[in-house]
Amino acid sequence: MNAALLFLHLVGLMLGAAGGFASAVIMRRALVLPADEAKVVRGLGPILANVSLTGLVLMWATGLILVWSKWGGIAALPDMFWLKAIFIASLTIVTGLIHMTYAEIRKGNVALAARLPRLGPMAGVSALLAVLFAVLAFN
């Protein structure tokens, strides 16, 4: 059972990373496109944010189950796990802010789109550091 959970956990990681990396690439591309084409490309942002969110939710669900099924609870977790947990919490908060920003943009507050170039890299750095500390914790 733990192998299946770890598999699903890694699928979540793939979804999260795919959405984030794709968003970074296409948003950079949108900067050099004509305005009408850039608008279409930027329209993919919320879709890719949803792909990332799906991965994050999958990682949370499987990660919590793995903590109990494989490690027997939080007392047995390696110290590096807690550094990983800090960056998972950071990633979760930034992901929430990204989704709140897209919701406000849909309501007509397009000025908030200026947040996205800062939030995206914050999510990326949080995810990268979470993976680093996961490797160090569970190597």
* Eight-state DSSP code of residue 33: S
pTM higher than 0.85, yes or no?
yes
Q: Using H for helix, E for strand and C for coil, what is the string for 41-91? A: HHCHHHHHHHHHHHHHHHHHHHHHHHHHHCCCCHHHCCHHHHHHHHHHHHH
**29-39 pLDDT per residue, tens:** 988 999 999 99
Contacts of 84 (CB under 8 A, 6+ apart): 130, 133, 134, 137
Give CA–CA dist 80/82, Å, rounded: 5
Provide the pLDDT for residue 76. Answer: 84
**What integer is the mean pLDDT of 40-52?**
94
Provide the pLDDT for residue 94. Answer: 95
**77-110 pLDDT per residue, tens:** 899 999 999 999 999 999 999 999 999 999 999 9
Amino acid identity at 108: G
pLDDT over 90 (residue 12): yes
**What integer is the mean pLDDT of 22-34?**
91
pLDDT over 90 (residue 72): no
Domain ranges (residues) in the chain: 2-138
Cβ atoms < 10 Å from Cβ of 33: 14
